[in-house]
Structure 1
Amino acid sequence: MKNEIVLRLLPSDAANDATLKGFLAKELKVSEAKITGFYVRRRSIDARKHPVMVQLHVITWIDEPASPEIVVDFEYPQVSAAREVIVVGAGPGGLFAALRLIELGIKPIVIERGKPVGERKKDVALLNRNHPVNPESNYAFGEGGAGTFSDGKLYTRSTKRGDFRRFLEVLYFHGASEEILVDAHPHVGTDRLPAIMKNIRETIIQAGGEVHFNTRVDDFIIEGDAVKGIDIAGGERINGEAVILATGHSARDMYELLHRKDIQLEAKTWAMGVRVEHPQDLIDQIQYHNPEGRGDYLPAASYNFSCQVQGRGVYSFCMCPGGIIVPAMTGPGEMVVNGMSASGRNSPFANSGMVVEIHPEDLPGHQQYGALAGLVFQKEVEQLCYINGGKNVIAPGQVLTDFVNGRLSGDLPPTSYIPGALASPLHFILPELISNRLREGFKMFGKWAKGFLTDEAVVLGTESRTSSPVRIPRDPETLQHVQLKGLYPCGEGAGYAGGIASSALDGERCAVMVAQALGVYRE
């Protein structure tokens, strides 16, 4: 007999198979000898109060052979001679679009301006040693996109974007741990993502698709009201029956290209602010309601804060427990920070973006730039932080309590940011529409989480690449650009996603719409 049992256990009990089996037997009212096998299908942590509990959904077999629950298999047919579609960008949106195209019998030609992930890691390592940023290979550009080096949290709030379980299974099929199919808040880890990205690339190539690195799109081939291909740097022309544009939120030159060609763009709401870092032990104590921290059986604690200040959202973004802060700029003269964590989340620090929602109407002094107003504002703030960080990869920093109270910092607390931080008045450097709201938001978070507002925490600037300030508008039914047939804006760079999962799911949706437009697939 097969049963599904829901148990709420202390973390130590949930982590021990022998103890867990005893609880299952008690719940099912059978002897442990009758349980022939069990499998944890779902695991979540309830840390709302002390003691912290772990909730498990467990598949259990009684008096019959146990069968494995995880059976994941994908078939990628040979498409080397099939119709060709161009995919611009090898981030989550582009790679998952390419995989789905193959499943639908279409050959993807993936164009990526950056390098393969192995070579890209070398450029990232140099950047962490205060070397100048490589504009084509950094934490944002290259195989896997920004997602490869931004923690690997797998989460989406929307249930309308696509099949989230399928997305997880594709990653598992390409080398991710089976834990991502079990945990309520799955996490891959930036140490494991590069190998997974490489495996996805190999799947595409083995199926007959193409992946071109160090290849930047300089223009589109447009005939009438339709896109027929692309021109790449160096003068080569590549034709395709459609173009899926998945260039990511930092490809400013793509927005500028579209703007020059009078291809319609829209300003959109986005967010920017700072990255705040605490000792992980302190966050564990706060979130697990325990002065002794998390103990041996709980993961590094995370948090998720949000509030409204002066009519705008102030919230945590991309929280990285047991993580590090990294330099995420994509060009010279910029200072941008982001966070990431390895699969073990074993750094002594916890960091998170803390950002303020910005609406297009919040930038009256930039309206002459039209749809690119937010992009120009974003650049200006990044340049200010670059100057105040010492004009290299060193970040401007401030003690959290000093930032809130509007005073200068002397020495900064220890930080995970390898290039180093320079004490700077971020409360003054950042525009008031950001700094004033952040200060009030931090005060609220400090009231909700006693100990959060502390001299042990540091803020670094600027966290500016949360999402794109620009949207590339598309028809909601066909997902084609509202002005150009055959152009499918996709993922974060197009303004239709906000992370690894949502970008990947949007890539799959675009691939399906392409297949329908080409007449090779019907739902």
Structure 2
Amino acid sequence: MIEVPNISVPLRDLERAGDEMAAVRKAAQKRLHVAPDAIASLEIRRRSIDARRGRPITVVYTVRCFMRGGTNSERALLSSIGRRGRGPKVEVVEPDGNPVPLVSGAPLSDGERPVVVGAGCAGLFCAWALARQGLCPVLVERGDDAARRTALIDRFDRTGELDCESNIQFGLGGAGTFSDGKLTTGTRSPYHRAILEALVAGGASPRILFEAKPHVGSDVLPRVVTHIAREVERLGGEVRHRCRLTGLRVEGSGLGRRVTGVELAWREGRPAPSPDAPVGAPGPERAETLAASCVVLACGHSARDVFELLRDLDVAMERKTFSMGARIEHLQADVDRCQYGPAAGSPLLGAAPYKLVSHVRGAAPAYSFCMCPGGYVVAAASEAHGVVTNGMSLAARDGANANSGILVNVNPGDLPGDDVLAGVALQRRCEQTAYAAGGGAFRAPAQLVGDFLAGTPSSGPGHVAPTYPRGVTWGSLDGLLPETVLGAMRAGIPAMAGKLRCFADPEAVLTGVETRSSSPVRVVRDKGYESVSVAGLFPVGEGAGYAGGIMSAAADGVGCAMAVAGRIRNA
């Protein structure tokens, strides 16, 4: 097949055609200078929107063309383009192979099964990749399956009754399940395509295979992660919900330390209680120890008790840069107009995203993060008496507001003392202060952007209605975050408005605090994904400090699975 990049189709041509694929096919034929019937079939490999100011909006495609006549026709076409001396940059490519092999027949090992702790993006895809290779992993997750977890989150939003073990942070799919499912990443990995195909097999839109800024939607993700978990089980793995890591068995001393097992507390075969049953209604936990010489630690950035466990075991960790700030909400219609001008509202464009960063002399950089077009601010707490915000969108992205984190980095040198978990302590302190400022019951403190910039408390909303589900308490964000963070936000918002005019809208809403965008620690590992201080322990994903989103975390988990499989094969 022939791959052709950078086929630009004006938006107006797509709208006139009424059939996107037909319009792209016509553009590809024109680009290749071939007859209408020369292309047997066409596959879109990438789709992006070019909405740079001063130009008509175009949609840019990379396509793969299967030429009628097969390989001989492709070679002839390439030869013809070469003779012309000028023409499209094209190349012959082979069909994609899956870099995560599916092993048929008996498992590769009849011995100990690898244990994966945490069923977020990294852990779930690590278990999936291990299962595909016949290694029958045991995947343990402290939270619930997707259906029960969704019911508990809905109840928390209604009543403020928080289950500290099953919430937006904990449960099948991890925090990413309820943050829109954005799949953009700045990393490269040979596993990205296989991960996307697994998501599509679970029910995600096939468009994620080619959209430049793909997303799944938090209304679709629960069934997608459920499908992947069932695939792990179908391939011989085991998935345990409400199963919490309480300890690691470690033998040896010094450089010879190695993991030999995990200590768990879980509720085997517990019935699924009504979502309206009191928190903690399930039966008592029971303790169990599983022998394991390969333990993948994919606990996520909110599993603070796991960080404490690792610190107490002298597992090598280090402070790392993390971010703090608040959620900012605008009317999505305003963002659309700023980004797309007269074309705003076109169904071919959808709700407009943005990605902004500010560099103001005398202030730390501020940047937008996890931008959710047509989305909602969510209550993402996992601890009592602490307010945490995040954002999500449904698949349709049709909410009235756009929201994004506006964040500022906190560097290791900004933290006091020498405790490796000083960043966790700062996060918790800000969350508890926000809880008090909100007045309890997980209400969140909120302030209008204009008042925030002026240093004046707010008394109520303007034309942007906040979407945080537990309700907001109007006032000031001052005192809720470090002064360096607040100062950078105040400098950054007007600077960002230079790129997106509506960003400094005085009636846009800031809701605080956002503290869980990244992990404040890194569990130190080597190039083979293994802890430098405990053999057989494999820290992966965002919580371990090696990823920054769904795709990078999932790819980190798959890469780790391949390393573990190699270890077991060669044992």
Output the CA distance in 2 between the equivalents of 1:74 and 1:347: 40
Output the CA distance in 1 between the equivalents of 2:120 and 2:311: 23
Distance change >3 Å, CA 343–CA 82, structure 1 → 2: farther
- Which AA in structure 1 matches 2:204? A
Shift of residue 285, structure 1, vs aligned partner: 0.9
Output the CA distance in 2 between the equivalents of 1:63 and 1:156: 35
- Which AA in structure 2 matches 1:455? P
Match of 1:345 in 2: 397
Q: Does structure 2 conserve the Cα–Cα contact (< 8 Å) formed by 1:130 and 1:394?
A: no
- Which AA in structure 1 matches 2:298? A
Output the CA distance in 1 between the equivalents of 2:336 and 2:150: 31
Say whether residues 1:43 and 2:92 are aligned partners: no
Match of 2:7 in 1: 7
Alignment of 1:250-329 (within 5 A): 250-288=302-340, 290=341, 293-309=344-360, 310=362, 312-329=364-381
Shift of residue 265, structure 1, vs aligned partner: 2.1
The normalised TM-score by structure 2 is 0.85
Shift of residue 324, structure 1, vs aligned partner: 0.8
Distance change >3 Å, CA 134–CA 5, structure 1 → 2: closer
2:425 to 364, 376, 395: 376
Shift of residue 190, structure 1, vs aligned partner: 1.2
Match of 2:63 in 1: 58
Match of 1:229 in 2: 261
Say whether residues 1:512 and 2:517 are aligned partners: no
Output the CA distance in 2 between the equivalents of 1:18 and 1:510: 42
Higher Rg of the two aligned structures: 2
Match of 1:16 in 2: 20
Q: Does structure 2 conserve the Cα–Cα contact (< 8 Å) formed by 1:395 and 1:461?
A: yes
Where 1:218 maps in the other structure, the secondary structure is: strand
What is the count of residue pairs matched by the alignment?
A: 515
Q: Does structure 1 conserve the Cα–Cα contact (< 8 Å) formed by 2:540 and 2:546?
A: yes
Q: Does structure 2 conserve the Cα–Cα contact (< 8 Å) formed by 1:82 and 1:107?
A: no
Match of 1:75 in 2: 102
- Which AA in structure 1 matches 2:223? A
2:211 to 160, 183, 203: 183
Match of 2:460 in 1: 411
Distance change >3 Å, CA 70–CA 280, structure 1 → 2: farther
Match of 1:450 in 2: 501
Shift of residue 71, structure 1, vs aligned partner: 8.6
Q: Does structure 2 conserve the Cα–Cα contact (< 8 Å) formed by 1:319 and 1:351?
A: yes
- Which AA in structure 1 matches 2:178? F
Identity %, equivalent residues: 39
1:89-127 per-position Cα deviation (integer Å, ceiling 9, x unaligned): 011111111122223332211111000111000011011
1:461-510 per-position Cα deviation (integer Å, ceiling 9, x unaligned): 01100111111111x23322121111111111111111111111111122
1:237-285 per-position Cα deviation (integer Å, ceiling 9, x unaligned): 1111211000000000101112223333211110010010101001111
Alignment of 1:31-180 (within 5 A): 31-32=35-36, 35-49=39-53, 50-61=55-66, 63-64=68-69, 75=102, 77=104, 79=107, 81=110, 83-159=112-188, 162-180=190-208
Output the CA distance in 1 between the equivalents of 2:69 and 2:232: 41
- Which AA in structure 1 matches 2:242? N
Q: Does structure 1 conserve the Cα–Cα contact (< 8 Å) formed by 2:538 and 2:560?
A: yes
Q: Does structure 2 conserve the Cα–Cα contact (< 8 Å) formed by 1:37 and 1:65?
A: no
Shift of residue 13, structure 1, vs aligned partner: 2.8
Match of 2:382 in 1: 330
Q: Does structure 2 conserve the Cα–Cα contact (< 8 Å) formed by 1:404 and 1:427?
A: no
Output the CA distance in 2 between the equivalents of 1:328 and 1:199: 24
Distance change >3 Å, CA 40–CA 408, structure 1 → 2: same
1:350-404 per-position Cα deviation (integer Å, ceiling 9, x unaligned): 100111100121123xx15x10111001100000111111111221111011111
Q: Does structure 2 conserve the Cα–Cα contact (< 8 Å) formed by 1:104 and 1:520?
A: no
Where 1:157 maps in the other structure, the secondary structure is: coil
Shift of residue 62, structure 1, vs aligned partner: 5.3
Output the CA distance in 1 between the equivalents of 2:458 and 2:436: 17
Output the CA distance in 2 between the equivalents of 1:158 and 1:10: 29
Where 2:561 maps in the other structure, the secondary structure is: helix
Output the CA distance in 2 between the equivalents of 1:7 and 1:477: 39
Where 2:330 maps in the other structure, the secondary structure is: strand
Q: CA RMSD in A?
A: 2.4
Output the CA distance in 2 between the equivalents of 1:335 and 1:397: 12
Match of 1:248 in 2: 300
Q: Does structure 2 conserve the Cα–Cα contact (< 8 Å) formed by 1:3 and 1:61?
A: no
Output the CA distance in 2 between the equivalents of 1:402 and 1:443: 13
Q: Does structure 2 conserve the Cα–Cα contact (< 8 Å) formed by 1:138 and 1:330?
A: yes
Q: Does structure 1 conserve the Cα–Cα contact (< 8 Å) formed by 2:130 and 2:562?
A: yes
- Which AA in structure 2 matches 1:75? L
2:437 to 366, 388, 398: 388
Where 2:309 maps in the other structure, the secondary structure is: helix
Shift of residue 16, structure 1, vs aligned partner: 3.2
Output the CA distance in 2 between the equivalents of 1:472 and 1:28: 51
Output the CA distance in 2 between the equivalents of 1:31 and 1:3: 17
Q: Does structure 1 conserve the Cα–Cα contact (< 8 Å) formed by 2:42 and 2:66?
A: yes
Distance change >3 Å, CA 266–CA 178, structure 1 → 2: same
Q: Does structure 1 conserve the Cα–Cα contact (< 8 Å) formed by 2:457 and 2:475?
A: yes
Distance change >3 Å, CA 445–CA 108, structure 1 → 2: same
Shift of residue 433, structure 1, vs aligned partner: 1.5
- Which AA in structure 2 matches 1:55? V
1:275-333 per-position Cα deviation (integer Å, ceiling 9, x unaligned): 10101001111112x15623232121111111335463311111111111100010110
Shift of residue 196, structure 1, vs aligned partner: 1.2
Output the CA distance in 1 between the equivalents of 2:199 and 2:343: 36
Shift of residue 63, structure 1, vs aligned partner: 4.5
Q: Does structure 2 conserve the Cα–Cα contact (< 8 Å) formed by 1:76 and 1:207?
A: no
Deviates more, 1:2-11 or 1:219-228: 2-11
Output the CA distance in 2 between the equivalents of 1:250 and 1:454: 33
Q: Does structure 2 conserve the Cα–Cα contact (< 8 Å) formed by 1:249 and 1:468?
A: yes
The normalised TM-score by structure 1 is 0.92
Deviates more, 1:297-306 or 1:459-468: 297-306
Output the CA distance in 2 between the equivalents of 1:499 and 1:286: 27
Output the CA distance in 1 between the equivalents of 2:69 and 2:3: 12
Distance change >3 Å, CA 2–CA 472, structure 1 → 2: closer
- Which AA in structure 1 matches 2:306? M
Output the CA distance in 2 between the equivalents of 1:195 and 1:82: 32
Output the CA distance in 1 between the equivalents of 2:5 and 2:297: 45
Distance change >3 Å, CA 5–CA 254, structure 1 → 2: closer
Match of 1:205 in 2: 233
- Which AA in structure 2 matches 1:391? G
Flag structure 1 segments of 5+ consecutive residues without an equivalent.
none
Output the CA distance in 1 between the equivalents of 2:187 and 2:40: 38
